[in-house]
Structure 1
């Protein structure tokens, strides 16, 4: 089975994670929290893309080159979906 990410366009096989070698992210991101991030790229749907630790954050309303405050709406694995806060 293959999985395509609608946010970034990535296309990869779906595999079951082994419980013995579970990965832990170094920086925790919580839903509802606000973080300051630098937008370094643009996603397929026009959202700004930023990195924070092991997470990739998609920020709606942000443009490449901006440093914005982003409120986290949803965390799914190491993908974060957020919106720009004025």
Structure 2
């Protein structure tokens, strides 16, 4: 499913896709979330340190991309950092 608009159902599906990618890469977390802020989308990650870490990317770059591909493209570069936080 390609993203056509950024709305609450899309953000919920994207969060689920992020959870799956994290689990597949053995990255534990207390909580995660995806939120919209202006022209950015934010990935909020809470690991064992109980601090919320924020990673952002362009909302415009998410349109017409499949949810699974987007989750992997956002997370794969930061997986090593997230492992340190988990």
TM-score (norm 2): 0.26
- Indicate the structure with greater helix content: 2
**Which of these two proteins has the greater Rg computed from alpha carbons?**
1
TM-score (norm 1): 0.26
- Indicate the structure with greater strand content: 1
